[in-house]
Amino acid sequence: MTGTFMNMLWSVEFRFGIGLDLESCDSRPVWAIRNNEMTAMAFDGLVLLIPFFVITAGRVWEEDEDAV
């Protein structure tokens, strides 16, 4: 389940795990659908892993290839 709140993308997913973890990331790769095409993008935000759930909150962005 994915939605927007406070100008950020929030996602809750199921997982098979019981550990606890909190991760702050600035370029975690994620899959996104843009113009009916699947593409890889970067995620900037927080990832919280709790028993049986992954909760993410942040922004998805695309690398500017001309900047390199």
pLDDT interval class at 68 (50, 70, 90): low
On whether the CB atoms of residues 19 and 49 are closer than 8 A, the answer is yes
Supply the pLDDT for residue 27.
Answer: 87
pLDDT digits (tens, 9 = 90+) for 9-60: 899 999 999 999 999 999 888 888 888 999 888 999 999 999 999 999 999 8
- Start-to-end CA distance of the chain, whole Å, equals 34
- Looking at residue 52, the DSSP 8-state letter turns out to be T
pTM above 0.85, yes or no: no
The token pair at 59 is 């922004």
Is 1 strand, coil or helix?
coil
